């Protein structure tokens, strides 16, 4: 795991109350870099989310194969926080690692699994699937 995600996990572990954890999640979302208006398209929209969610990936060559960086945004504050966690976990990593990384352990450690509505859990799963699919496409392109 990267230091960004480790730092987020440590911060969550310091907060006992879920109201405080939700506030922290919203703060993480507010700290996301601005999302380009031109990228708010049907092609970048994540299907399966109750809120509107957009994810964009950029692929760069690396010594360990293609590396991906991600930008994301949502119209919902808590979902923006979830995007921030996913970007901390997956962005700027080799595609092979992205495909192999299962976020379930991170979400369980933070306690998100037990504190998200079924709709948000489904949306989170859709975002992870999109990120991993982008990484799989980058690997396939690099192999051809």
Q: Where are the beta strands (DSSP E) in the chain?
A: 53-60, 67-74, 93-94
By CB atoms closer than 10 A (0-12, 13-18, 19+), residue 127 is buried
| Whole-angstrom distance, CA of residue 49 vs CA of residue 39 | 17
Catalytic residue among 49, 71, 79, 135: 49
| Whole-angstrom distance, CA of residue 10 vs CA of residue 105 | 14
Packing angle, helices 77-90 and 18-30, rounded to 10: 70
49 is catalytic: yes
3-class secondary structure, 54: strand
Indicate which residues carry an active-site annotation.
Answer: 49
């Amino acid at each position: 795991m990267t230091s960004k995600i480790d730092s987020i996990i440590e911060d969550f572990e310091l907060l006992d109350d879920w109201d405080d954890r939700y506030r922290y999640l919203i703060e993480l979302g507010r700290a996301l870099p601005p999302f380009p208006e031109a990228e708010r398209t049907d092609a970048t929209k994540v299907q399966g989310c109750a809120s509107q969610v957009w994810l964009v990936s950029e692929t760069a060559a690396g010594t360990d194969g293609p590396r991906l960086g991600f930008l994301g945004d949502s119209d919902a504050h808590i979902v923006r926080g979830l995007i921030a966690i996913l970007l901390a976990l997956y962005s700027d990593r080799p595609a092979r690692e992205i495909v192999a990384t299962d976020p379930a352990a991170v979400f369980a450690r933070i306690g998100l699994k037990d504190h998200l509505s079924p709709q948000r859990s489904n949306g989170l799963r859709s975002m992870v699937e999109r990120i991993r699919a982008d990484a799989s496409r980058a690997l396939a392109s690099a192999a051809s």
